[in-house]
């Protein structure tokens, strides 16, 4: 028995449509970069911050920041630069994901501390 190419095409289109619907529900969109010939999925930074609000602690731990470094105590060793007493999670860590290292996030560094995206 042979397979029906039209049936396979319809099934593939249905799955693709379902994925697109789920992305729209999550606030994601398929966007075409004007200088690229490829289509790519991305989440705008403002939407990413909204989605991650209240979950930054688990996101940072999943990204490799040790959980004990986010316990709220000041003057911890920095997981990035290893500085002995430079690292501090900010008070709004869970909402914004902000951490501060006096070496990694000082006035002359980019990105500045301030939110979870720059923390990552």
116 CB-near residues (< 8 Å, 6+ apart): 49, 52, 56, 59, 60, 96, 97, 98
Percent pLDDT > 90 in the chain is 14
The reported pLDDT for the residue numbered 114 is 74
The reported pLDDT for the residue numbered 92 is 87
Q: What average pLDDT does the segment 32-41 reach?
A: 62
Kindly state the helix (H) or strand (E) to which residue 100 belongs, with its residue range.
strand 99-101
Q: What does pLDDT average to over the chain?
A: 76
């Amino acid at each position: 028995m042979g397979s029906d190419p039209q049936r396979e095409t319809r099934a593939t289109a249905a799955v693709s449509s379902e994925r697109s619907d789920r992305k729209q529900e999550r606030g994601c969109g398929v966007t075409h970069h004007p200088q690229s010939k490829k289509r790519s999925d991305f989440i705008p930074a403002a939407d990413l911050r909204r989605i991650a609000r209240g979950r930054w602690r688990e996101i940072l731990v999943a990204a490799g920041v040790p959980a004990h470094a986010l316990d709220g105590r000041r003057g911890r060793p920095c997981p990035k630069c290893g500085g002995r007493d430079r690292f501090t999670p900010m008070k709004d860590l869970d909402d914004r994901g902000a951490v501060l290292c006096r070496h990694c996030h000082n006035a002359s560094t980019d990105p500045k501390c301030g939110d979870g995206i720059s923390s990552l």
